Structure 1
Amino acid sequence: MELSNGEIMVMEVLWEGECLDENGEIQALELSKVLKEKYDLGKTSCYTFFGRLLEKGAITRRYPKYTIKPIVTREEALQKQREEAIDKLFQGSFINFCRTFLKDNKISEEEVQEMKNIINDFEKEEK
């Protein structure tokens, strides 16, 4: 699930949860007011983002008052974006991702050891 910057702004407000009611919901009009105050987004832009987020399955909407509820957590969204980026940019290969990262960045011996520890822990979990 690739989210645009505007969609992420909407989701960040929802994930923070301060504007949500006891059912974890908010009316679209109220959410657009929060987004106007926080990010200076216009009402039309907000509703465009709401529509896109509905299509992507990140939020639900119920009537009659266009009440919005987030159904994707921040962690789920980030996981999906990571997977899509690796698929798109590195032919789905985590190894290609690591090679590119390591080629372009200097890493310390401590970081190399930490990576080895992560791999060892992963191997232990797999057994």
Structure 2
Amino acid sequence: MANIPKISESEWEVMKVIWNKNPCSANEIIKQLEDSTSWKPKTVKSLISRLLKKNVIGFNEEGRTYYYYPLFDEKECARQESSSFIKRVYNGAAKNMLLNFIEDNKLTEEDLDDLKKILNDRD
């Protein structure tokens, strides 16, 4: 697994836009986030700057516009975040996390069938 820098919750929101539409400009990111957040354009640009400093995104310059693209794919980042969460909250025991999740959530028969299939395919 690549060593991906820690991404904050706010940075995740920016990354979701970049993963969904890349490359994209700061203005495109701002426009995508304006309905789901109350962030000012300056806030979004600060988040982009932080992601650049962390080397999570890169950019290409076309004229006076910067187009941002991810340096890690979404699945890699989600996998690392999941691993970090399990270590922090469940002392690394994925079983405890799964049991907690299953006990606290109403799973449909389809959900249960999918989980069984995943577990059976691991053999």
Q: How has the CA–CA distance of structure 1 residues 57 and 87 changed in structure 2, closer, same or farther, with 3 Å as cutoff?
A: farther
Number of aligned positions between the proteins: 116
What is the percentage of aligned positions where both structures have the same residue? 25
Query: Contact 1:35/1:41 (CA < 8 Å) preserved in 2?
Result: no
* Match of residue 68 from structure 2: 68
* Match of residue 9 from structure 1: 13
The structure in which a higher percent of residues are helix is 1
The one-character-per-residue Cα deviations of 1:19-78 (angstroms, maximum 9, x if unpaired) are x5xxx3x454x3465357554532321222012212333202466955532212222222
RMSD: 3.2
* Match of residue 55 from structure 2: 57
Alpha-carbon distance in structure 2 between the residues aligned to 1:108 and 1:11: 31
| 1:41 alignment partner, SS class | coil
Greater Rg, structure 1 or structure 2? 1
* Match of residue 41 from structure 1: 39
Gaps of 5+ in 2: none
Query: Contact 1:27/1:67 (CA < 8 Å) preserved in 2?
Result: yes
TM-score by length of 1: 0.64
Gaps of 5+ in 1: none
Alpha-carbon distance in structure 2 between the residues aligned to 1:27 and 1:107: 40
| 1:72 alignment partner, SS class | coil
